[in-house]
Each structure stands twice: as C-alpha cells, then as structure tokens.
Amino acid sequence: MQVTVSTDWLEKNHQDVIVLDASWYLPSENRDSFNEFKSRHIPNAQFFDIDVISDTNSPLPHMLPSPSSFNDHVENLGISNNLKIIIYDTEGLFSAARAWWMFKIMGHIEVFILDGGLPKWISENKPISDNHQKAKRGSFLSTFEPSSIVDVSQISETKAQIIDARHPKRFSGEAPEQRVNLRSGHIPNSVNIFYKLLLNEQKCLKTKLELLSIFLEAGIDLDKPIITSCGSGVTASIIILALKQLDHNQTALYDGSWSEWGLRDDLPIATN
C-alpha cells in the first residue's frame, strides 16, 4: 500500500490536490505551530490543527473527535470526499502521520504523507509562501472505521501485539515522562519500536525491506493484529503508517496511549 508521495510528485500535481500542514509540537517546546505555518508553508496549504480537530471535552490530549465534528472541521479546510489529500509537517515526518491516520479512520482513501515533509521540500528549493487564504468550504462525510481504534478497556483484555513508539528510555522507565503526574514504564507485554528507527536521514520512511527487518527483529508477527501506542497517539500513527506500507491491515491505535495509562494508578506497568 502506497502511503507517501515524493516532493517532485507534489510539485507536478500541486493544483490537483489539497495540501495540509499538520505540524504540532510538544507544549514544552513553546512554539506556535499556526504562526509558523502562516509565515512559511507550501503554497495554498491549509493548517490542520490536531489539538483543535479533537475531542475537546476529553481531559486527554487531542483525542479523536466524533465523525460529525471531524466533518465540520475538514470541510472548513476545503476538503471534500472526492479530493486527494497530501499532508506534511515541519519535522519531516512526525505529527503529519496523526492527521493521516485520522483521515484513514474516517474512511478517506486518497490521503498520503509528503515524504520528507517541509524540510525536504525547502532543501530542494521548491516554492514557499507566506500568503494564507481561507479555503472555500468543502463537503465531507466520514465513514468511521471503529476497528481502527481501541480504548483502555480493550487494551487490558487484548491478545493483540502492542507496539510502543516512545524513546527506549521512556519505555524502560529510565527517563521521566514529559507530561506531569505520569508514571514511568510501559504497558505489560508491549514491544518497543522507537518511531525514529523507521525513518532515514531525510526523515522519509525507510524502504519496505528495511521496515520489514525492523518489525521482524522486534519479534512482531505481521500476520497477526497489532495495536500501537506512544505518549499521546501521535507517533503511534507513524508505526501504523509503516505497517500500512507493508500492507498490514490489522492495525489499531490506542488513542489514550501513555497519557492515559501512565496516569491511572489502577493499571499495571512494566519496567526493564
């Protein structure tokens, strides 16, 4: 399954697609992603804010919104069901995968990641704009895929393989969590594959052969269901992106991730 497009492809087909900047940063970085977008973005891009396009009633960060709320938000970005969507971020490949996953779970097929993101685009001297214009409202109707997301109760009962995308020291409990009041460690029986291992030096997804090797070396059976997790459901989406590139379709994301599991004293944790 093809999940990315190249910078050259986007430059040639720019007028036929919707381009979204889904850049997001940890609160500790103290950066304003929307202001950065307005000052420098791919021409005609719209800004996809994963904190705004979320379940704002949840105490957990950027949880998946309802389909009706998602429809309303993306229509405001000029998106309709018949359009091809290309998503990027300023890190190369980071939060763009979260937006990609959200469109996938809402049933949109023609959605892809710009391989290498804005850094690769800029390094190739492709056009950049500081002119942001609001898009004409689109018409979007979600077809929600409930099997692609799991909650904490399903995690507690699952027999599926769980992959945690966090840094190894956070996974092992050696490093403290970046959000307050979170315990350190990981979900028992989960496997750690740090999301950066899936990317090359240009922050593009590695080749299929390289990706396959990483999953197999971690002991993952690609013929069985997989659940992904991370800190707050962002980099867990990169694991799903890589799995989709390998044509693995039995994937689901634990949306609460460690922001929920690590907060609850009634849930077991493991360290190693």
H-helix or E-strand containing 97?
helix 96-105
Helix axes 236-245, 96-105, angle to 10 degrees: 70
Sign of the C-alpha dihedral computed for residues 250, 255, 259 and 261 taken in this order: negative
First vs last Cα of the chain: how many Å apart?
35
Pull the structure tokens for residue 240. 């799903």
Give CA–CA dist 239/164, Å, rounded: 9
Phi, psi angle pair for 63, to nearest 5°: -70, 155
- Distance between CA atoms of residues 6 and 56, nearest Å: 34
Q: How far is CA 262 from CA 27, 96, 101, 229, in A?
A: 18, 24, 23, 12
Catalytic residue list contains 204 = no
Active-site option among 230, 236, 243, 253: 230
Active site residues: 230
